[in-house]
Structure 1
Amino acid sequence: MSHRLITFFTLCVLLAAPLAAAANADKQCAEAADAARAAAQRYHTFYLDAGWGGRTDRAAAHMNACHAAFAERGFGLIGVEINSENEDVEGYFLSYGPADAD
């Protein structure tokens, strides 16, 4: 194999990783919302990992997907807490409760 071909495949793998993580995060939100509804939980907190490639540009999109998934199942957003370590964002705690609660 040539050096260029190996470099090309390496770049493809590195560039595909954030896309796969994004799809996985949205799927995990929907699964968590389904589990909370099936267990008849009134309140649920979901941890959204700010994994590689999502700290700055994709975090809001993932949160919006989580909010939509939980809203479809009768939950409303209560609050968001940032989990940081050494001033680096590691993830977000998203808390949901009954949509009709004020």
Structure 2
Amino acid sequence: MESEGGEDLSWFWRGWYLSNWKYDVAVDKVEGSVVTISNRGQLVLPTPVKVRFKSGEKLRMTLPAETWMQKGTYTWTLESKAPIAEVIIDPDHMLPDG
């Protein structure tokens, strides 16, 4: 899979097959246009995030698995200065959040 995809998938093998790790990602705080998200578990996965602004506008992005490998916290500064209504981790409910 790695050679065909051209991507290092060691995070996948280590987390799913070699260990019994849990995935637990949460929004810690939202201050203005800065969002702090942390991985409280050991399992790293690409993490989709949806931001909904009070204006109704929405923004989606996926944090790559590598986001969680160096440290368990990610601070995201949004370009938009519009007020944030909510930040949703895994808006499509596809991940095994513990």
The alignment's TM-score, normalised by the length of structure 2, stands at 0.32
Q: Which has the higher helix share?
A: 1
